[in-house]
Structure 1
Amino acid sequence: MTETPENMNKVLARSLPFPHNMALVCKHWRNIVSSTPELWTRIFWAPFLDDQWVNLQLEKTGSYPVHFIINVKGALSRRFPLSLISSHLQRLKSLTITGVLDEYRDSGMLLGCAPQLDRLRLTDIRAFGCFAYPVSRLKLECPTLRSLYVDKNTMAYYLPHEWLKNNMQHIEVLTIYGGSPINRPTSMAISQTLEAMPLRIPCLILDDLQFYVAYAGAYSITIRADKVILRTCIGDVLTAFDGDCQTIVLRDCDSIHELRCLSLPPSNSLELDGCAATRGLRWVSKTRPWNGDTVTITNSHPSCIKIILYFLGAPFARRNCSLWPRVTTLRLVAKGDFVIELPLMILKEMVSSRQRQAGGQENSGKDGEELEDTVRPLRVLHVHGAQPLRSEEEMWFKKQVRDFVWN
């Protein structure tokens, strides 16, 4: 019942997706599938399908909320009749459009209120022929919209600021996909669009969003989000963005070594998921500091773990660094079949280094408050999915760390 690349490929290959395949098993299954409207509510549309097919699908859904998945990418001679959606706006639960919109200026306009629409995805929206048919024609009222996924061009040029102000009151996740370097005009347009958001975004996902290096430092884009997820690219994005958040997530990034010369936005926690480092470190002592207190590393390569341990204070070239002095919590997690390859010696050196530096400094300021640049000892160390630990090493960690878990 979920949208997957496999299902989309089957549709484009003129195969029958679920639940059609279920109906082919036997007569009994066919009767059950035909009498269960919930199974037909996810409606795929591709250029080779006609309007009658969509109407038949809609009839099978009864009065249940519907999910439209429309792919017209590369099909300039066959456009989806948006009027089919317009007549069912009251039941529209989610809408995905990939490719150009239709040519008609009035009949094809998405106009009206979709009171149940909570997920909207618009990608590869571009010119048709010599005219541009922007999503500014999108006049949907989405009072319950919670998830919006758009590519960089759609976000920058085709979403009117007034529409954002009127429909983003309950947004929970905003995703902007890049896929190729962004020039300066597009970057400035994205900045203006984000500034038009009426509220602070609970979760902002920047998916493979790349800036030209020449433009990255020429402007700043203010982040107003509680959680920011950066996927694939981090360097030029962190250079261009400004602001603060509660959590920064680096996902599927192979350039963790770049954090040495970049400033992380102010935040409480940093999460690394599926990350690695394609290059090692030559200098650690010149790494930019960070003021957060929690680091979580999930399903990441040993090269990534090693660099983070150096940032946390493991001796590098016989020098103590402690570039992230306020971190007191470190979690290393393996999910699924992943096994953490943990450099145990470097981990122990990091814990010992922080303990020594914390013990040799004045740990409190006025009224018992800790100083900003004071190195704090590691108080929480949770490791899930690493190699077994010998009993003597386990006893050592328990003496050094107040809250220690290893399983």
Structure 2
Amino acid sequence: MFSRDDIKKAICEGHLKIFPYDERNITGAGYNLSTMNFAFSIRKHILLKINVETLENGNIHYVNIPPNDTVLFFSKEYIETDNEIAGIFMSKVARVCQGLGNISTTLDPMWKGQLIISVNNPTGKHIRLDLDREHGNIFTLLLFRLETPVTGEHVHDNNKGRCDLLIDHFKRNKGVFFLNKKYLDLKEFVIDEFANSLNGYDNFRNEDIEDCYTERMRKLCYIEDRIKKHVVLFREGRYTVDADIGNYKILYNSEEEKEIKSCKLYNMDKNTNYWLGKEYSLQDIRNQKKELIQLMESYIRIIDYELDIIRHDRRILWQNTEIAKYAKENNRAYTCRKVLDIIVGVIIAIGVACLAHWFSFLVFKKLLSLGLSNKDIYINILSAGCSLIVGIISGIVLLLIEKKRR
């Protein structure tokens, strides 16, 4: 089983990728994973409302998992393994102690993409699950190295972020015809754009996208493109040191060195000396060409990993924004379900009241046939009214029971 140091080493050597990588999530023998703002109720067949709690240090997004329900989430992290690494997922103790069911599933070798997560609430009450935890909010990934690397095709049959498992739970809401399009739109989004995004098929590693990552991405891309070009020139023996420039430097100035120092992979790999700021004469280049090319390729790997992190940060932001269109607090489907619950409760209350009143009427009619006095008749009218009130109260109680059950 991998220790913390083994996980870091596997990432540095390119055997494992975890985006976004956060040092606070790594444990002595695993990596804590989190969920994004996607919560699909299997029982209700709708996206659950994402609530927001405002705190002094920012907002916390959370979802209330309904009693006796199973909710499908997707991981915030994008995981990629080679043919030598597999893993298992184990629930965090804090979540199990809340009453949530245990999670135990596997991570196959050669996996690429985000993960579908099934969370069960077997209790009779709602359980709050925070979605913005800094140290992982749902389970821990434990990794193992296979004794023999997997070879051949069809290592696993899992694709599209396992959206196929989600699609099975989409159903038309019969009796509420105006909600069908909302469900169909969500289904189309999940099996197309969302599934492609979960599997990493998107164009978020694009310098033309204007956001908070644009400037840094352009700087990193500029450095990476230049170093890649130099690698080719060095291998072909075509690089020459310009006399006006002087000795060669992989990174031209302190600003470029600062960009590299801020990269996750650079700070993770403490065993490699990257010789930031070192200068090379033409004679050094000739004598140390192989070592210099390896160092340049290390810089490329560091930058490439950082660009993938930025790409995935953009991906998560897009996913949460798009999902919010379906799961926001005033979501039409969610509101309609609440209205339907009230209507059903009112119908139940009226039905129970009518039955009670009908029964009271039969009794009252029987009493009239027996020739009772007006006083007795008034008493029976009061009795019928009380029966009606009891019927309404019974309907309200049934509505509250049904609401709690849901």
**Taking structure 2 as the reference length, what is the TM-score of the superposition?**
0.22
Structure of greater Rg: 2
Which structure features the higher share of strand residues? 1
**Taking structure 1 as the reference length, what is the TM-score of the superposition?**
0.22
Higher RCO structure, 1 or 2 (CA under 8 Å, sep 6+)? 2
Which structure features the higher share of helix residues? 2
